[in-house]
Structure 1
Amino acid sequence: MEITYIHHSGYLLESPHALFLFDFVDGTLPPLDPAKELFVFVSHRHADHFSPKIFDLPASHAKTHFILSSDIRPNKVPESVKDLVSFMKPHQVLEFPKSSSEEQTFSLCITTFKSTDEGVAFILEVRDPLLHEPPANIADSNPPTVIYHAGDLNDWRWREEPLAWNNNMSTNYKRELQKIRDAGFHPDIAMIPLDGRQEDLFYLGVDEFMQIVGADQIFPMHFWEDFSVIPRLKALPCSVPYRARIMELKKD
């Protein structure tokens, strides 16, 4: 799996059969292989996560699918691409391809969770046999690669908010993480907010995710071009158990 950090919360992931583009608003896209299916995800309607320019992609990439949070109004979608769009509410499941085939080598299952801000978080189960070495366990010859993109699902505690508001935020965040854990998900790749505007509370979302759900690799996002928050997290004592799994980004 090739993973490209684009900007803010924007990531592009590429498997042998497909491309997965998350919350692309600003920055430069690398070349997109036109032979691969392109899945474009938007976690919610905020301007730092959703830009109408994504709807230009089918003009140069015929195999495009849009998976949009249901808080985005349908009138934001041009008529020319409406047949390519699926809207998802929290706690829904969507599968591609939508028809089964015994010869199928690639499949995608998308599960949504409820954001503590707006919209949804996405979990993808990508079954692409070329992502794996020949399996030791023949019971599952095509195990899924599990990908998590949080959108704005985070423990958004702020010093200026009342204690009751912050406590409610933490409760809601941990409750949603428990739902992810109880559904049996352990992401191979997790893209999680790490926002320095929260001052000394900036690390909470990542740390609580790793305590409750866990992931093999953590890709920070939503840090408003302040890349220094990544080594700051790695320097905290709480990160010792997962420090080596935090990807240290240095530029878009």
Structure 2
Amino acid sequence: MKITYIYHSSFSVEFEDEKVVLIFDYYKGTLPLFDKDSDIFMFVSHKHFDHYSKKIFEIANEYQNITFILPKEIKMNVKYMDRWNIPTISREKIKYVTYDEKYEFIGPSIKQPFLCVKTLKSTDSGVAYIVQCFGKTVYHAGDLNWWIWDEVSEEKNENMTKRFQEEIAKLSGLAIDVAFLPLDPRQEDKFYWGLDYFMKNCNVEVAFPMHMWDKYEIIDTLKEMDISAKYRDKIMEVTGDGQVFNI
């Protein structure tokens, strides 16, 4: 797999031999150049501005073998698409998903199901994705994270803890090749809680921190902490836009 960090929580995952590309939560930044004949699957986890932009639908003008996978919270009717000038070519390529479901997709050029997508319910908005393709399992959290905030009531934080841990428990026994996980400096001393819990309770080969708001040094902060000793070698060093990893 060829993985490119695009920006914030957006990554592309390329299966180059099969000409299949997965793109997650793109809203800004420079997309890699893909083979024009590639089957491209554009995943959107939720509608927040830093995970979704309507400009993604313009990509269908360049790559015709594209499928847009959106949570139902973004569902658009014809009037809405007309008002926002969603390209006609893109409209028939949109598939809507909801949480706790399983879907199978074919590609425009691969005429049989080969992409299995499962969803989890986010602790914030939308869904997280588990994508199984060509014997590999890729997890993208979206905003499914252990969002604990000092300014929030104890009751709400307890509810957050319960919901987060219940969702992660659904991944028990699953071998995950690549995980994209929030590591958000805005949580201050709790910035690592979600990623740490995930790594200690899931079977993960490699993990890419995301949602760092350009503060990439937070990865080193985590890796220097004693709590990360058992998994720090699995944490990829994301340092800037356009960085490429071969996994």
Normalised by the length of structure 1, the TM-score is: 0.88
2:138 aligned with 1:109 = no
2:125 aligned with 1:123 = no
The amino acid across from 1:57 in the alignment is I
Q: Distance in 2 between matches of 1:84 and 1:233?
A: 40
1:90 alignment partner in structure 2? 99
How many angstroms does 1:98 deviate by? 7.8
Summarize the alignment of residues 156-167 of structure 1 with structure 2, pairs less than 5 Å apart.
156-167=147-158
1:21 alignment partner in structure 2? 23
2:192 aligned with 1:203 = yes
Q: Deviations over 1:165-216 (max 9, x none)?
A: 11111111000000122xx422100000000000010001111111222310
1:33 alignment partner in structure 2? 35
Q: Distance in 2 between matches of 1:74 and 1:91?
A: 21
How many angstroms does 1:107 deviate by? 1.4
Verify the 8 A CA contact 2:118 2:131 in the aligned structure 1: yes
The amino acid across from 1:122 in the alignment is Y
Q: Distance in 2 between matches of 1:185 and 1:63?
A: 30
How many angstroms does 1:124 deviate by? 0.4
CA RMSD, aligned part only? 1.8
Q: Distance in 1 between matches of 2:107 and 2:4?
A: 27
Which of 159, 170, 178 is equivalent to 1:179? 170
Q: Distance in 2 between matches of 1:214 and 1:240?
A: 16
How many angstroms does 1:83 deviate by? 1.3
Summarize the alignment of residues 190-229 of structure 1 with structure 2, pairs less than 5 Å apart.
190-229=179-218
Question: Where in structure 1 do 4 or more consecutive aligned residues deviate above 2 Å?
Answer: 75-79
Identity of aligned residues (%): 40
Which fold has the larger relative contact order, with Cα–Cα distance below 8 Å and residues 6 or more apart in sequence?
2
Summarize the alignment of residues 4-19 of structure 1 with structure 2, pairs less than 5 Å apart.
4-15=4-15, 16-17=17-18, 18-19=20-21
The amino acid across from 2:91 in the alignment is K
Q: Distance in 2 between matches of 1:31 and 1:191?
A: 21
Q: Deviations over 1:84-137 (max 9, x none)?
A: 1111000111112289x9x96x8110000000000000000011xxxxxxxxxx
Gaps of 5+ in 2: 242-247
2:245 alignment partner in structure 1? none
1:140 alignment partner in structure 2? none
Verify the 8 A CA contact 2:122 2:128 in the aligned structure 1: yes
